[in-house]
Amino acid sequence: MSHQDPQITQMTAVDPLLELLAVLDATRAEERAELDAMTTEQRQAAYATGLMTAYQWRDWYQRYPHETPLTSLTGPGEFFHILCKTPEYLGE
C-alpha cells in the first residue's frame, strides 16, 4: 500500500492552462491600467502609431467608442487600421 505525502499535490492536465490564464489576466489588467492612464490624445496617438496591443485596442473601442477614429471610402465608418490595407485605399 502506497502512502502519498499530503503536501505533494498532483498536477492535472488543466493546471498549465489555468496558470496561463492567470498570466493573461494579469497582463490584461496591466494593459487596461496603461490605457486608463492615457489621455484621449495619447490613446489616439498610440493607435495611430501601432503601439496599442490588440487587447488594448479592443478594450478602448468597447469602453471609449467615441474616441476611436473611423474613416470611410464608401459608407459607414471603418477602422483605419483595417481600411488602410484594402486595395481601394491603396489605389490598387
Looking at the 3D structure of the chain, how many domains does it have?
1
Alpha-helical runs (H) found in 1-92: 15-37, 40-48, 54-63, 80-83, 87-90
Q: Report if residue 6 sits inside a domain.
A: no
Q: What is the pLDDT of residues 32-77, one digit of tens each?
A: 999 999 999 999 899 888 898 888 988 998 898 888 877 766 666 7
Rounded to two decimals, what is the model's pTM?
Answer: 0.60
Domain presence at residue 20: yes
Helix pair angle (54-63, 15-37), 10° resolution: 60
Looking at the domain assignment, is residue 2 inside a domain?
A: no
Predicted pLDDT of residue 15: 87
